[in-house]
Amino acid sequence: MQNITNFLSHFFVTGDPMIYGADASIALASIGIVVVLTYFKKWKWLWDEWLTSVDHKRIGIMYIIAALLMLFRGGVDALMMRTQLALPNMHFLNAEHYNQVFTTHGTIMIIFVAMPFIFGLMNIAVPLQIGARDVAFPFLNALSFWLFFFGAMLFNLSFVIGGSPDAGWSSYAPFAGAELNPGVGQNYYLIGVQISGIGSLATGINFLVTILKMRAPGMTLFKMPMFTWSILITSVIVIFAFPAFTVALALMTIDRLFGAHFFTIAAGGSPMLWANLFWFWGHPEVYIVLLPVFGIFSEVIATFAHKTLFGYVVMVWSMIAISFLSFITWLHHFFTMGNTAPVNAFFSISTMLIAIPTGVKIFNWLFTLNRGRIEFTTPMLWALAFIPNFTIGGVTGVMLAMAPADYQYHNSYFLVAHFHSTLIAGTVFGIFCGLHYWWPKMFGYLLNEKLGKWSFWVFMISFNICFMPMYFLGLMGMTRRMYTYPAGLGWGPINFIITIGAFGMGLGFIIMALNIVWSAIHGKKDTTGDPWDGRTLEWSTASPAPEYNFAHIPTVSTRDAFEAMKEEKREGRTKPQLPFKPIHMPNNSGIPFIMGGFMFVAGFGFVFEWFWMGIPGLLGVVACMIARSFVYNDHHHIPADEIERIERAAGRLS
């Protein structure tokens, strides 16, 4: 009995009233979901329509729902930190708890918010933009999603079972090693992120093949929409960066579980190797979450300036240049770790070089706006706010890139302000922009403009209240990851202002959530499929797009293909209605979900070093792969009369 009590008190995180509150809310939410699904008899619907779906649009929606939930959690983490730092000598969180909270905040925001949100938007938009009926590998796409989902669930379990990781999102050795960081928290980080990372790699391969091989006839590479271009380049970065991270995480896991010495100080290990491997992935990762939003902003700015994008070819080459440079700048994350001057100089210059293609893009967006008929919709507001706010983040990045000066800024709040300026004003503004822009395509109705603008203004102003003072706080000497500070350093008032800004951003997010709920009931229906007077092919089909996307695959002759089609129509050149043909579509499959479940079981086993659980879990994964290999009947046809019925119901037949 004593043993059992002892085990349970270590297994479950105990002793903190906030954790008990979280336990209770998790239990209540889970029971609530089960009760609602059972009461409304929705289990079969959930399984058939969503959990087994291989439709890129549904997978995209599931990615976005999961990412929004994770954004909520990451945001609560941020508010907990800001509460703790609001005043000097606060005791809201203790040092250990604070470490856990900044670790989960960083990891969740990058791996479980920014990436899945972008994957969600690209799942929804890319196949539609290139005139395809799905991605190249729909089954693999579902698998990617479920690996991400179960990886995220495993990671999030840590704070109620076993304890959270506390070594920062960058998880530096030797602190993250077994000797200095015993317990399961760090294992959760390593294995949860690993599982979702495998899914990310598969997504990269999937979208690269999709874009290279499945474009509508006539759509040459340089006629693709800019968002599709950004995803093509991002996919290449994913493919070359993620395997390095896979290895880094695996090596640290082996260090911790099997006593190897890759990153230890004893027995010849090299903690610096971790920093190199981590940032060899970590820096390209920054561009994995930035280039796609550059694509989104390009689409949105062109659409609402009602002009074609300025400098299209230069835009593409700038992104290619950025993607190349992103692989040779990783060392700027640790200029201060004792590299030689020539090494620091090389990485200093390579980092500054990135400002050139990025600056080119900024000017191209400005020139797109020049003499445009600008329409201030919610997505456009996010895009317009991105330009100045992101530029501030970029310029301070160049300041940090100067290695000698970095010795002053390094790991200060100046750095914290810099990367939040790029990741919030870039990535977060971008995903919100894309969410509002493609929402009608996902659900067939628009988000409310008034609430949308309120959430924009509240969030954007609060963002500046939160992060502008942080630059000065950093120059005044406050370093990142301090859990408290004494009075009398002059940091108190600035920290208080920052905390006000942080809560303001939370309020902006709540207004956005309200907007989603309100619009689900009262939102304006999008009956045309083209609510924004769009320029690219996703707006040429119904909203929401039918399962097969396009009844007829469009033929493309120019950039802004849909704009050209509308032009033709205005000139009275209409094409004759072709007869419908049956469409070949992939079958749903439960294997991705089950395989993700086995991965979760295996991951949980390895977190606790319970090999009796981990190894059968992995065998289950292999069994799923074999089972899938023997499935031959994996496609079906949608008959022509069914297509005609669907098209007629959507009002697309005259």
Partner 1 sequence: MAESILSLDSKDKKNMPLEYTTEEGDLRIVGFWIFLAAELVLFGTLFASYLVMQSHTAGGPTARDLFKINPVMAETIILLVSSFTCGLGTLELRRHNTKGLIAWLVVTVILGFAFIGLEANEFYSYAVHEGAPISRSAFLSGFFILLGTHGAHVSLGIVWVTSIIIQLAQRGITAVTARKAFMVGLYWHFLDVVWIFIFTAVYLTGLVI
Residue type at 500 in one-letter notation: I
Q: Does 585 bind partner 1 (CB under 8 A)?
A: yes
Which CB sits closer to partner 1, 461 or 623?
Answer: 623
Q: 125 phi and psi, to 5 degrees? A: -90, -40
Q: Which residue of 15, 39, 89, 266 would you call a contact of partner 1, by CB under 8 A?
A: 266
Helices marked H in 215-270: 226-258
Site string for partner 1, 484-523 (x = CB under 8 A): ----------------------------------------
> Residue 642: CB partners within 8 Å, gap ≥ 6?
none
> CB 552 → partner 1: shortest distance, Å?
9
Q: Does 243 bind partner 1 (CB under 8 A)?
A: yes
Q: How many helices (H) and strands (E) does the chain have?
A: 22, 2
Number of neighbours of residue 633 by Cβ within 10 angstroms? 6
> CB 108 → partner 1: shortest distance, Å?
25
Which CB sits closer to partner 1, 34 or 212?
Answer: 212
Q: Which residue of 159, 227, 262, 459 would you call a contact of partner 1, by CB under 8 A?
A: 262
Residue 310 is encoded by which pair of tokens?
Answer: 């300025």
Instruction: Count residues binding partner 1 (CB under 8 A).
Output: 58
Which CB sits closer to partner 1, 513 or 623?
Answer: 623
Number of neighbours of residue 151 by Cβ within 10 angstroms? 26
Nearest CA-CA partner of 130 in 551, 562, 631:
562
Angle at 285 between CA 281 and CA 291, to 5 degrees: 145
Q: Does 637 bind partner 1 (CB under 8 A)?
A: yes
The distance of Cα 65 from the centroid of its chain, to the nearest Å, equals 12
Q: Which of the stretches 148-156, 212-220, 363-371, 400-408 binds partner 1 when contact is defined by CB under 8 A?
A: 212-220
Q: Which of the stretches 180-188, 250-258, 480-488, 503-511 binds partner 1 when contact is defined by CB under 8 A?
A: 250-258
Q: Which residue of 183, 477, 582, 620 would you call a contact of partner 1, by CB under 8 A?
A: 582
Tell me if residue 358 falls in helix, strand or coil.
helix
Q: 286 phi and psi, to 5 degrees? A: -55, -40
Q: Does 244 bind partner 1 (CB under 8 A)?
A: yes
Q: Does 524 bind partner 1 (CB under 8 A)?
A: no
The residue with tokens 């317009």 is 384
> CB 553 → partner 1: shortest distance, Å?
5
> CB 520 → partner 1: shortest distance, Å?
31
Q: Which of the stretches 118-126, 264-272, 441-449, 603-611 binds partner 1 when contact is defined by CB under 8 A?
A: 264-272
Q: Does 209 bind partner 1 (CB under 8 A)?
A: yes
Residue type at 451 in one-letter notation: L
Number of neighbours of residue 236 by Cβ within 10 angstroms? 17
Q: Which of the stretches 252-260, 337-345, 412-420, 444-452 binds partner 1 when contact is defined by CB under 8 A?
A: 252-260
Q: Which residue of 21, 32, 182, 217 would you call a contact of partner 1, by CB under 8 A?
A: 217
Q: Does 578 bind partner 1 (CB under 8 A)?
A: no
Angle at 157 between CA 152 and CA 162, to 5 degrees: 135
> Residue 78: CB partners within 8 Å, gap ≥ 6?
105, 502
Q: Does 581 bind partner 1 (CB under 8 A)?
A: yes
Q: Which residue of 101, 118, 184, 277 would you call a contact of partner 1, by CB under 8 A?
A: 277
Residue 270 to residue 276: CA distance in whole angstroms: 10
Q: Does 630 bind partner 1 (CB under 8 A)?
A: yes
Q: Does 37 bind partner 1 (CB under 8 A)?
A: no
Q: Does 113 bind partner 1 (CB under 8 A)?
A: no
Near partner 1 in 594-623, by CB under 8 A = 622
Cis omega before residue 217 (within 30°)? no
Residue 393 to residue 396: CA distance in whole angstroms: 5
Give yes or no for a contact between 60 and 113, defined as CB atoms under 8 angstroms apart.
no
Q: Which of the stretches 213-221, 284-292, 384-392, 435-443 binds partner 1 when contact is defined by CB under 8 A?
A: 213-221
Element at 583 (helix H, strand E): strand 583-586
DSSP labels, 183-212: SSHHHHHHHHHHHHHHHHHHHHHHHHHHHH
Q: Which residue of 33, 35, 180, 212 would you call a contact of partner 1, by CB under 8 A?
A: 212
Q: Does 334 bind partner 1 (CB under 8 A)?
A: no
Q: 232 phi and psi, to 5 degrees? A: -60, -50
> CB 640 → partner 1: shortest distance, Å?
10
Q: Which residue of 125, 154, 201, 331 would you call a contact of partner 1, by CB under 8 A?
A: 201
Residue 207 to residue 216: CA distance in whole angstroms: 15
Near partner 1 in 294-333, by CB under 8 A = none
List, in sequence order, every residue forming a beta bridge with 586; answer none if it has no partner.
635
Residue type at 279 in one-letter notation: W
Interface with partner 1 (CB under 8 A): 131-134, 136-137, 201, 204-206, 208-209, 212-217, 239-240, 242-244, 246-248, 250-251, 254-255, 258-262, 264, 266-270, 273, 277, 280, 553, 581-586, 622, 626, 629-630, 632, 635, 637
